[in-house]
């Protein structure tokens, strides 16, 4: 496993739509392993493949309940309900935060690293993370969804 460089604000890859994963091979496994190591080292909540320069539909999310890593390949939010409004940041936008409305609960359909389909549900912070990372795959960054950007004083 390796820690990959996280793409920063201003890099055009963050605005590109990622392509579906079609090959479930060693290359994908290495990418997912590296993304896991990268997000943990950076103390992040999640990471999308385009944030490490790869235009494929793959994300990793840290499950705050048990610190496990959830891998989602070709994720699609198939249900959502409720609403939450809270501060959100991003590893690609260090030190920047905004108030973003997200669903309180989502259900995601995805594939695992072997191509097997599954569904997973998330509430509160996990729902926020699923939405945030899925947005990345569609070339959308949190600042585009923010009702306002928070000042440094507000974050303290």
136 is in an annotated binding site: yes
Annotated ligand binding at 105? The verdict is no
- Give the Cα-Cα-Cα angle 9, 150, 50 (nearest 5 degrees): 25
Give the residue from 54, 28, 64, 48 showing the smallest Cα distance to 132: 48
Catalytic, 156? Answer no
Question: Which of 133, 152, 154, 156 is labelled catalytic?
Answer: 133
Is the separation of the CB atoms in 58 and 21 below 8 Å? yes
- Per the structure block, which two tokens stand in for 22? 């079609």
- How far is residue 57's CA from residue 18's CA, in Å, rounded to a whole number? 5
List the one residue out of 84, 70, 92, 100 whose CA is nearest residue 5.
92
The kind and range of the H/E element at 155 are helix 152-155
Cite the annotated binding site by residue number. 90, 132, 136
Active site residues: 133
Which residues sit in the known binding site for Fe cation? 90, 132, 136
């Amino acid at each position: 496993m390796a820690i990959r460089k996280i793409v920063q604000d201003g890099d055009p890859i963050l605005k590109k739509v990622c392509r579906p994963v079609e090959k479930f091979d060693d290359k994908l496994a290495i990418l997912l392993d590296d993304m896991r190591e990268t997000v943990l080292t950076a103390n992040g909540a999640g990471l999308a493949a385009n944030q490490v320069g790869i235009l494929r539909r793959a994300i990793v999310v840290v499950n705050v309940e048990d610190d496990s890593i959830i891998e989602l390949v070709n994720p699609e939010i198939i249900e959502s309900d409720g609403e939450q409004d809270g501060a959100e940041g991003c590893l690609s936008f260090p030190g920047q935060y905004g108030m973003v409305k997200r669903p309180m609960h989502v259900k995601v359909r995805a594939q695992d690293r072997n191509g097997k389909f599954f569904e997973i549900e998330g509430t509160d912070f996990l729902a926020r993370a699923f939405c945030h990372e899925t947005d990345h795959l569609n070339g959308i960054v949190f600042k585009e969804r923010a009702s306002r950007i928070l000042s440094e004083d507000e974050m303290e």
